[in-house]
Amino acid sequence: MRAILLSALFLLNTVIYTQDYEPDRVNLYVTVTNSNNQPIPFIEITLIAKDDKQQLKGVTDNKGKFQFIAKLGKTYVVNFKDKQNHSEIIIPTKYVGTMVKTIKYDPPANTNLNTKSNIPDTIKQTFSSGERPSESEILIMLEIYNDKDLPLKNYQVRLFCKKINKVYVSKTNEKGTAFFIVPFNNNYDVGLDDINKVVSINVLADRPGLTYFEHLSYVPTVVEETRKNDTIRQVLPENAGPTNARIFVHLLVTDLDSKPLPNEKIYLNVVEENTVYTTTTSNNGYASFLVPKYKKYKLSFLYERDVDLLDYSKSEPYSLHTTEIEYQYMGSAKIEEHYKTAKRDAKGFKTEFMEVKIKPVPFDKKIKKTKDGFDIEFDSTAITNSPAVYKNKMFMSEGYYSRDFYGFDSKTGRNIWGVELAESGASSAVCDSDIVLINTESCTLYAIDINSGRLLWSKWLGPYIYSTPSVADGKVFTVYPNDLFVYSSEEKIVNEFVLVSFDLKTGKTVWQNWLDAEVLACPVIAAGKVYVTTMSGRLYQFDENTGNMLNTNVAYALTPPTVAAGKIFVIVRDKPNSMNKVMAIYDEKTLKLKKQVPEIRGKIIYEKMSGESASTTMKFNDSRPVYYNGRNYNVVGNRLICSSPEDGSIIWSVMFYDPTKVVAENTNSTIMPVIAGGKLIVASPNGEIQIYNPADGKLIKSFATNANFCTEPVVNDGWIYIGNKNGKLISINTLDKTITGWSMWGLNARHNAVVR
């Protein structure tokens, strides 16, 4: 994949009121909706800073949205006219560029959102030659030209004044000029198309009766759109390009042999919205979109999801952007043909899998020495998993939306080798017997030699893989979909997904068995058995060598299990359809419920696992316990808890971060404490790596990183490694080599969080 971003300033020969980068400020995009998730348009909202009472005021647009420029580190109280102290918005202390916040607000029953008290008065103006402003007015002349320096004729222009709650509407004449006569001593926002604020005009009090002139160069949006439910299809004009309101995205899609893929469906899902743009490639494999600025888009194919993230949230309002990207994809027709023709045994299991190739890739990223170790700064700004550390090497993907996968020296960060996978979306790496294994979301299990980066074998498993592989006793365990379209069920076992065991060295299939749904994060291997929890909430137990299912139970599970001391510890819903989670204890042999632990209870972060990003799903550990030295340790909310594995009683509990000082978006559904060298280590949402005494919960030491973590740390030979949400690996040398033993996500290749 390669991407090129071209930009050109569009406002020419005029006064431009732009905002330079200010490190103490953040763009806060607020959406106001009611309890039914319907946007509340034209409602006045005021944010008041708790410390210095600074006020930010605005009126939502017709989509319930408004933008504020907020200051870092402040807490703002949200106020509506009829509802004071409605809620609070906490701005982080570090620069994040953009924040998006949705506020739930139900106006009083007698509020008419279509009255003039909310919708600004609209005043249409037609200018006559010789007309002059009065002593309290000013004449504003706006000359609008396109990028070819031709006047935009008969084009609607708006001036909005929030102070007097009025919108003045005019049209340009044959020379591209729009005239307005408006009250002086006001600020006016110039609106064109769906941009409400192209530029601001400040009409000063000492200039009544005069004329204000502004020349704007503006490229209008011309596109035909058809919307059905949440899907938008576009017909672009010939020789389409970027506009001032939209990004021009031009794609070339080829197969894995670099041949163009015609008639291939492409999807751009708007992040945090129920909107998707879709189109189909041409005979030459090309496709184009014209998408609004200030949004993020996830690009997907029909059978390969989350291929890339196109982030336009920080687009310059005064520029033209074109993105040229080339992608490789297996091809929908080839995938469909494979599922139709692949050989299967008498039970319906696939006995042949497509193979994919990898190729070498150079490493040119920045390795930065820090006070406590080193950071690797990748080009990708996406989620970066913690590495697997094995024999003084570490292995990891560049980032979730990158295909590049690397091997490094674990003490220096020196690159050893790099390869480009056939897909992005790599899971955490798993190492065993000099082999590193990874799944990609779409769609492959790779086995790679740790010393050379040479591909040993690969299995194209299916279009959607949301888990990390596990390894034990020379066998690899993972899960794949039995067909292209699957549906989960909590009431009965249906043959939708397959738990498969491959030989680690050769990739030969050892055994397969049915699951009712996708696995939660990973299979767990303990004492000759394979344990699986699925997205339907079911708990399974299989024989590791034969694959025979020994037991199953509907547990309403939310995490992978931890198997220790004759028991299975798993986080579950406290009852069906509940939004509360609780720790449950099951009998290891029978899978019968022994006890729910009400002392270890919290709110479920998500409603459905499918709503989580696949990157999170692949390593989901929300409140999963770690067993060590006869005790359980887990995180519930902002509490780090030590409890008895016998009855779940709390031994000690500490608050390891202050939730009032952490942005909600920084909370992490993959947080799990780790045990290394007899120390308890946790990655806090406040950006600290904290080391505790597991006996009494006393904080021993902490390392400040200012990072936004997205996974648990990995600990080996005195070093702590952790990825963040912005394309960086952080490495910390504790100078204590006894702190070791948690070498990859989930402890080791078996993924049973039990430290002996």
The 10s digit of each residue's pLDDT in 389-447 is: 999 999 999 988 999 999 999 999 999 999 999 999 999 999 999 999 999 988 899 99
Distances in Å between the alpha carbon of 692 and those of 573, 583, 656, 743? 29, 22, 10, 19
- 111: pLDDT confidence band, cut at 50, 70 and 90? low
DSSP strand pairing (430-432 vs 415-420): unpaired
> Picking from 130-139, 218-227, 285-294, 658-667, which range would have the lowest pLDDT averaged per residue?
658-667
Identify which has the larger pLDDT, 116 or 296.
296
DSSP state of 237: P
The C-alpha atoms of residue 690 and residue 699 are separated, in whole angstroms, by 7
Token pair belonging to 410: 């674990």
pLDDT at 28: 81
Surface-to-core class of residue 544, CB atoms within 10 Å of its CB (0-12 exposed, 13-18 middle, 19+ buried): buried
Long-range contacts of 701-707, Cβ-Cβ distance < 8 Å, separation of 24 or more = 701/734, 703/372, 703/732, 705/730, 705/732, 706/94
Which of these, 341, 366, 346, 332, lies nearest to 443 by C-alpha position? 332
Which of these, 176, 158, 73, 64, lies nearest to 113 by C-alpha position? 64
Mean pLDDT of 523-531: 97
Distances in Å between the alpha carbon of 716 and those of 234, 393, 619, 732? 52, 11, 19, 11
Q: Is the pTM for the entire model greater than 0.75?
A: yes
Which percentage of the chain shows pLDDT scores above 90? 61
Mean pLDDT of 91-118: 69
- 24: pLDDT confidence band, cut at 50, 70 and 90? low
The C-alpha atoms of residue 677 and residue 695 are separated, in whole angstroms, by 13
